[in-house]
Amino acid sequence: MLHDKIIQNLYYNVISQWKVVIKILLYTTLYSPFIPESRWLDFNVNFYSNLFSGIISGVFTGIIVGVIIWKLQSKDRKKQIERECTREANIFLQNLKEKVNYSPAITISEDPVEVLPSNTYKTILYINENPLAYWISNLKKSQNQELGTCLKLLELYRRYVKSASHLDAKVTNRLIEDHDSLNYSHYLAPFYGLLSGVNIDKLNRFFHLNKLTPDLIKRFEAIQKEENIEKPLQEYICNRDKLLDKFNELDRELQSDR
């Protein structure tokens, strides 16, 4: 916007000066009673040459001054953006510390994506709502450590979501075989809760209608070892572990800043 205004002003400046030239050129020769007739030609040549050189030098001077002003204003704008990003990033990091300190209890859900410690899941959702890449591009490298870790956490989360979706499709089909399409969903949350290490007594308190009996636990463990389940399950666990490791790294960085 500012650059366009500068160019526009230069354009109008040049046009206005050339309008003056055109009006002057409507008179083929300039006359003066104070100049001898024999010197009129020399006078006109000198006059027009000085006029054109003045216009040209004025145009170049205007362009150079405009570029200098544009660069100075761009530099000021960059500093202003940096100050704004610093303020926003600091507020973000303060709020992030609160999310990290939430309860680490694992969320029980039919969706394997959500079966994470509560603080991890809430932290990731909060990070995903903010323009980290924009802040990082406008801040100094020394200010970007925690923000960089947040971006890496998001990247690992995307991989985790992909592997969770792949596993969920396999597990859903398998549970439908055992419990039909109307009742299979009642077993998803216990299956993923048990897989993620949730205490059996806690799971039974949540699912009083489908308690984790020893027989049901054995069936779940057998499903986990089936050929078409085992590979996506291991991929899910691997990505989940990487995600939790990166979250713990972020937690340590935030703790060190306190």
Select the more confidently predicted residue: 49 or 3: 49
Three-state DSSP class for residue 106: strand
pLDDT tens string 65-84? 666 666 655 666 777 888 88
pTM: 0.70
Which residues on neighbouring strands pair with residue 106, listed in sequence order?
A: 117
Highest mean pLDDT among 62-66, 105-109, 182-186: 105-109
User: Do 15 and 140 fall into the same domain?
Assistant: no
Residues 6+ apart with CB under 8 A from 20: none
User: Do 55 and 128 fall into the same domain?
Assistant: no
Select the more confidently predicted residue: 142 or 205: 205
Q: What is the pLDDT of residue 255?
A: 85
User: Do 56 and 133 fall into the same domain?
Assistant: no
- At residue 139, φ and ψ (nearest 5 deg) are -115, 160
User: Do 43 and 119 fall into the same domain?
Assistant: no
Q: Is residue 31 scored above 70 in pLDDT? A: no
User: Do 113 and 229 fall into the same domain?
Assistant: yes
The token pair that represents 152 in the structure block:
């890496």
User: Do 162 and 188 fall into the same domain?
Assistant: yes
User: Do 116 and 200 fall into the same domain?
Assistant: yes
Q: What is the pLDDT of residue 2?
A: 45
> Which among 96, 128, 151 is the end of a domain?
96
User: Do 72 and 114 fall into the same domain?
Assistant: no
pLDDT tens string 82-140? 888 889 999 999 999 999 999 999 999 999 999 999 999 999 999 999 999 999 888 87
Distance of CA 166 to the CA centre of its chain: 26
Q: What is the pLDDT of residue 125?
A: 95
Q: Is residue 163 scored above 90 in pLDDT? A: yes
User: Do 34 and 115 fall into the same domain?
Assistant: no
User: Do 109 and 151 fall into the same domain?
Assistant: yes
* Full residue range of the structural domain in which residue 16 is found: 2-96
Q: Is residue 205 scored above 50 in pLDDT? A: yes
> Which among 66, 96, 126 is the end of a domain?
96
The Cα 9–Cα 5 span in angstroms is 6
Q: Please state the domain count of the chain.
A: 2
